[in-house]
Structure 1
Amino acid sequence: MTNGADLLRINDLSIAFPLMQGKLHAVKNASLRVLPGKVTALVGESGSGKSVISQTIMGLQPAITEVSGQVLFNDPTAAAPVDLLKLPRDGRRLRAIRGSRIGMIFQEPMTSFSLLHTVGNQISEALRVHTTLSKAERREQCEDMLSLVGFNNPARVFDMYPFELSGGMRQRAMIAMALICRPALLIADEPTTALDVTIQAQILKLLRDLQEKMDMAILLITHDLGVVANIADEVVVIYQGEIMEAGPVGPIFRDPQHPYLKGLMAAVPHFDMPPGERLKPLREIVVDHQTLLGNMAAPVAPAADQPEVLLSVRNLSKTFKTRNQDWKVGRAAPQAPAVDGVSFDIRRGECLGLVGESGCGKTTVSKILMRAVTPDTGSITFNDGHGPIDVLEASGDDLQALRTRIQMVFQDPVSSLSPRMSVGSILSEPFDIHKRGNRAARKEAVAALLKVIGLDPSAARRYPHSFSGGQRQRIGIARALALAPSLIVCDEPVSALDVSVQAQILNLLKDLQKDLGLTYLFISHNLAVVDYMADRVAVMWAGRIVELAPREVIMRAPAHPYTRSLLEAVPYPDLDRPLNFESAGESSVASSAGWAPAFREEAGGPGMAPFDLGGGHFVLARTSATLSEVRP
């Protein structure tokens, strides 16, 4: 293939960052291409150099960066290819290309949008810079693009602020901003990371449709091999800044040659794994749980006759009072229930998976369990063998005990770890708060916790910013383990991690559950991860649990149509199991209109209640429904 046939050709690209102790070579002699109208996926772990390459193409790399090689952009509207590296960083020619002929979708839309400007103001800025359109014409084009990316009321969205949009909507607005000048090349940096499977399928369908309509090429940067298998034409695999393997998507998936690519594929959880099979991360964590047992972190042994149910939740409801868009007038909008009559039990020693799309109420439930949010109705009873505790009414000694026995692992380890505290201080803080041990004992306990999660004791002197994403998440897990809790609430603990680090964390959680007898509430939107971790699964939609069953029943024979739609939206890293974009790309609100009558609630009709299908399998259905109407 000649350079003239490639829309983008990168030749021998090397990128280095000068540091006090020497140069950090982020990319080493990398070469790849993007063909016109095709999707090239750049795949690798966090820190492999993917995002640095995208920044360099756009001329957005830090000023101190040392760059060599070629980045040839063959714009169809230009007379000849241009080497982007030879253009002045802030020169007129590069600015004319950036945002106009090459668009970019950033990984985190909330940090990429300005909170002080409306969505329309930020999207129209590219038109103001690159065109001579009037203000009215710019607004018209922006509303057309917002409509194209799936907004039903683009005029209203144009005047909204980014914080008023959900994660999926913000990603759609980011796509509209990248495409407003109809570029020849779109760089998409992790466009679906941390989105639930249904929103992810909608975004992938949107990108595929826009690519066809606009005859646009895409450089897709991702660590999700399921996304790659369903949308890419060519694949480039990068590891520690070097290209390991490249070629068409067929040979790459059907006959991978490089051990690194084979290792990435083995680290992905999938639904066909036999019971008991472990994920194979590229780098194993050596877990030493023995150091935790018998030290000061261990709680007093509970009574011999421990109850089977550790946590019992009944009729939990929470409604957040909001105002409508006409807030200046102050008229109250209809109240929207975030959690609506949720009930479930968590048994001792099990992992209960809680799945559902963004906005269904999963995190609100976890915050209620941790007493960070007060519910409107409902009760929560916790009993780990020391006697039942009313979680919502606990005070004094009961509340102090409760806070040692229920801990949480947060979704984002960056924001949940204080940047001003060393790791040693972070891990010893629970002992300080609950007055356990003296200074020497706390130091010993911190060393033991670091050993459990596979980190050297010297890590105690370092700060969170000096660790990778996976290491920070392991530190978050160690903090949750510090007081030897009975129950750990895991809120999307691996959603933003690449597959190799994800495999490390999941294996660590399973090992700790087995060795320390832990109980988990595991909240996730990744059904393959839940299939690997959970013993039972609760599926949540619109604030309600619509199905609850043992893991193998939910994954193999779901009864509720929403559960089936969630499973259909999972992108498999398998070319023989392509994603059905027509059904998977439909929102759950739209698809609910086509559910069987037994699963639809209608005003004035029969109420909804859990229907017992036997074997611990419950599905939310009309009280008038029969077994034949709800049986899968």
Structure 2
Amino acid sequence: MNAAAKSSSGDLLRIENLGISFAIVGGPVHAVRNASFRVLPGKVTALVGESGSGKSVISQAVMGILPNTARVRGSILFDDPLTGKSTDILQLPRDGEDIRALRGSRIGKIFQEPMTSLSPLHTIGNQIDEALKIHSDLDAAEVKARTLEMLGLVGFPNPARAYGMYSFELSGGLRQRAMIAMALLCRPALLIADEPTTALDVTIQAQILHLLRDLQSRLNMAMLLITHDLGVVANVADEVVVIYHGEIMEAGTVEDIFRRPQHPYLKGLMAAVPHFDMKPGERLKALRDVPVKVGTLLDSPKAKATAAVAQPRSDVLLSARDLVKSYTTRGSGWFGKGRDRPVKAVDDVGFDIRRGECLGLVGESGCGKTTISKILMRAVRPDSGSVVFNGADGPIDLLAAEGEALRAVRTKIQMVFQDPVSSLSPRMTVQNIISEPLEIHDRGDAQSRLQKVTALLKAIGLDERALNRYPHSFSGGQRQRIGIARALALGPELLICDEPVSALDVSVQAQILNLLKDLQSELGLTYLFISHNLAVVDYMADRIAVMCAGRIVELAPCETLMERPVHPYTRSLLAAVPFPDLDRPLDFDTLHAAGASDQNAWAPQFRNDGDGDALTPTDLGGGHLVLARRSVDKRELV
């Protein structure tokens, strides 16, 4: 570590003995402690650690955008190859000309969340070319030409059209490309990428990583990549710096870090990442395990099932058939008066969820996964189709249920949401949040509800001291556990988990996944687990349904799908998952530029060409179904 941090004339950026603290009531918070590392010209240095470890604070110090409450010591030396001048960024006036000349021009930054980083009131072109207007003397025509050139360079299919669009009109991947174009427009010597792919699908993530690596090489630019994803690090980085609670734990080349890890924290991070080589029954090794204590919980599905064992019942808990849901998009004419266009979010979808299993539902954003979850929760009505729920009290037509029947079925199906921040009310204590379902459904009195809430907290690994605290005082993983406790309050039989770990660090992700597995085993729960990460679903699920453009294109037992995927879309999803393994790099050449869902890249037997030969589920045996042309012999697919 010390060798990597030593001052050298060959370093583009040298951070030496950096300390950052924030003054708050009760004493200062030390966010960064004596951190030292380097970034070499034309190389990628990855800064790796959990949320709260100080990664983003360091990037803010480099950009000179720390808040006024920050107290900083040490030095950040930037050797600009354009001028040959070495500058200590910490010695520059906070908002003086010198720091503004560096920021955006010689040092660019890509922020984590492109939707909140882009203005909804200005076009993409206006926002991107602003940097060039500030840092150059080019006229308006030259600025626009350079902006269009950069939009093409980062992969916009139609730069001229994108120039006049607004951020909310773009997909997540295109918004991130716009952020990259904005950061690179002035050809900086250093690019800081702060979690640039965290919110993206694995296929879009792979495209963005390929783009960043390609541009970094083409422009001979250095990059400080901030991430918690070791798979991303293994595929992009040249050097790696591991940080924990503001202190550098380990630093070195990517070869040293992955092949010869030394620090226990780094080894723990690596063991917490789900991967396709895990053996059946093998558990993720979370850095901090969550004890599961479900002995005090009542009304569990397992208890209900034991009580109802004498009743003959189906092995299928929920059966969905022929589900269709369309939305109408407003026309593009003046004031939206163009022709309205229906878009099928869910198109003829059918599946079964067996009692006690975890069915994984995977696909890219916009494929219809969440719409299906909303249909099952009765938050959205489908245009057509049927859903039958075979609960402990007998079969229920889920879509026809009204009044008391609907109220009763809502207790049997509960949901764990994607974002643990926005799904919990900031104005309610933990006790109020978890007891709210019990109050709505008139379960017990105040005393029994308190006992139930306390038991639920113990079950998810929190103690009674959390009862009167508010969500903002908990970490992301703890908030998600509170969301799980709320979902379990009514003793549901089916739990729908909609991307429950996509917003979490790998170490916290391992905690939540292990907790969900333990709860399933102890309580006899059935899961519909929705995700875009096949490695996570592989760890959780018994069977996996792969969804693309509103249809299930492949459905198979977990082992079958991982070892013998048939549909090209499934293969693309698998190929796009980055491994934390130097011997298994992403094959960027095989990743299609237009995305995994581009049917033009698929074999003819999987394409819907509108010639009357419909796509139908073809049974390949052993519960393996794939969507293919009706006329295709299944032996051609195996």
Band of TM-score, shorter chain: over 0.9
> How much does 1:79 deviate?
3.5
Q: Secondary structure at the match of 1:103?
A: strand
- Give the SS at the match of 1:5: coil
Aligned to 1:279: 284
Which residue in the other structure is 2:228 paired with?
A: 223
Q: Which is worse superposed, 138-147 or 462-471?
A: 138-147
1:330 offset after TM fit, Å? 1.2
Task: State yes or no: 1:118 paired with 2:118.
Answer: no
Q: Tell me the equivalent position of 2:3.
A: none
Do the aligned partners of 1:296 and 1:441 also contact (CA within 8 Å) in 2?
Answer: no
Helix, strand or coil for the counterpart of 1:495?
A: coil
Residue in 2 aligned with 1:356? Answer: 363
Q: Which amino acid aligns with 1:37?
A: G
Secondary structure of 2:23's partner? strand
Comparing 576-585 with 262-271, greater Cα deviation is found at 576-585
Mapped pair 1:243 → 2:248: yes
Superposed counterparts of 1:598-609, under 5 Å = 598-609=605-616
Q: Does 1:162 align with 2:167?
A: yes
Query: What's the CA shift for 1:296?
Result: 13
Give 1:85 deviation, angstroms: 0.6
CA 1:3–1:333 in 2, change beyond 3 Å: closer, same or farther? farther
> Is the CA contact 1:198–1:587 (under 8 Å) kept in the aligned structure 2?
no
CA contact (8 A) 1:269 1:529 kept: yes
2:401 — aligned with what?
Answer: 394
Indicate the residue corresponding to 1:267 in structure 2. 272
Q: 1:328 aligns with which of 335, 339, 357?
A: 335
**Residue 210 (structure 2) pairs with residue 205 (structure 1):** yes
Contact map agreement 1:307 1:384 (CA 8 A) in 2: no
1:526 equivalent in alignment to 2:533: yes
Matched, 1:495 2:506: no
Q: Where do residues 290-369 of structure 1 align in structure 2 (5 Å cutoff)?
A: 290-293=295-298, 301-302=307-308, 304-328=311-335, 330-369=337-376
- 2-side partners of 1:591 and 1:317: how far apart? 22
Deviation of 1:127 after TM superposition, in Å, equals: 1.5
Native 8 Å contact 2:301 2:491 kept in 1: no
**Contact residue 79 and residue 85 of structure 2 kept, 8 A:** yes
Contact 2:542 2:557 in 1 (8 A): yes
1:444-463 map, 5 Å: 444-463=451-470
One of 565, 570, 585 as aligned partner of 1:558: 565
Q: CA deviation at 1:385?
A: 2.4
Equivalent in 407, 420, 424 of residue 414 of structure 2: 407
Match of 1:623 in 2: 630
Counterpart CA distance in 2 for 1:35 and 1:340 is 51
> Whole-Å Cα distance in 1 between the matches of residues 181 and 84 of structure 2?
28
When residues 478 and 629 of structure 1 are mapped into structure 2, their CA distance, relative to the original with a 3 A threshold, is: same
Contact 1:489–1:520 (8 Å) recurs in 2: yes
Hey, what does 1:53 align to over in structure 2? Answer: 58
> Does residue 87 of the first structure (1) align with residue 92 of the second (2)?
yes
Letter in 1 for 2:601: G
CA distance in 2, matches of 1:590, 1:468: 35
Partner in structure 2 of residue 37 of structure 1:
42
Alpha-carbon displacement from aligned partner over 1:563-618 (angstroms, at most 9, x marks no partner): 11111111111001111011125333675323222111212241110000111110
Shift of the 327–548 alpha-carbon distance from structure 1 to 2, 3 Å rule, reads: farther
- Provide the rounded CA distance (Å) in 2 between the counterparts of 1:409 and 1:31: 40
Q: Tell me, what secondary structure is at the counterpart of 1:530?
A: helix
**% identical equivalent positions:** 68
Contact 2:572–2:596 under 8 Å retained in 1 = no
Residue 252 of structure 1 is matched in structure 2 by 257
In the alignment, residue 65 of structure 2 is paired with which amino acid?
L
1:504 — aligned with what?
511
Indicate the residue corresponding to 1:130 in structure 2.
Answer: 135
| C-alpha contact (below 8 Å) 1:263/1:282 kept by paired residues | yes
- Out of 104, 108, 117, the residue aligned to residue 103 of structure 1 is 108
Contact 2:113 2:199 survives alignment (8 Å) = no
CA deviation vs aligned residue, 1:73-127 (integer Å, no higher than 9, x gap): 1111224210111111111111111111111111111111112222111112212
Q: Which residue of structure 2 aligns with residue 421 of structure 1? A: 428
Q: CA deviation at 1:333?
A: 4.6
2:619 corresponds to which residue? 612
The whole-number CA distance in structure 1 between the counterparts of 2:123 and 2:267 is 45
Given residue 588 of structure 1, which amino acid in structure 2 is its aligned partner? G
For the residues of structure 2 that align with 1:432 and 1:512, how far apart are their CA atoms?
Answer: 23
Q: Secondary structure at the match of 2:329?
A: coil
CA distance in 2, matches of 1:333, 1:166: 20
In the other structure, the counterpart of 1:190 is: 195
In the alignment, the residues of structure 1 paired with residue 80 and residue 331 of structure 2 have an alpha-carbon distance, to the nearest angstrom, of: 45
- Which TM-score applies when normalising by structure 1? 0.97
Residue correspondences, number: 631
Query: Amino acid of the residue matched to residue 418 of structure 1?
Result: S
Amino acid at match of 1:326: G
What residue number does 2:79 align with?
74
Q: CA deviation at 1:141?
A: 1.7
User: CA 1:302/1:158 → structure 2, altered by over 3 Å: closer, same or farther?
Assistant: farther
More divergent stretch after superposition (533-542 vs 389-398): 389-398
In 2, Cα distance between equivalents of 1:377 and 1:462: 44
Distance 2:99 2:542 in 1: 54
Q: 1:8 to 1:284 in 2, by over 3 A?
A: same
For the Cα contact (< 8 Å) 2:203–2:596, is it kept in 1? no
How much does 1:423 deviate?
Answer: 1.1
* Partner residue in 2 for 1:379: 386
- After superposition, the CA RMSD in angstroms is 1.7
TM-score (norm 2): 0.96
Structure 2: state its 5+ residue gaps: 1-5
Q: Which residue of 2 aligns with 1:64?
A: 69
Say if 2:289 is the partner of 1:289.
Answer: no
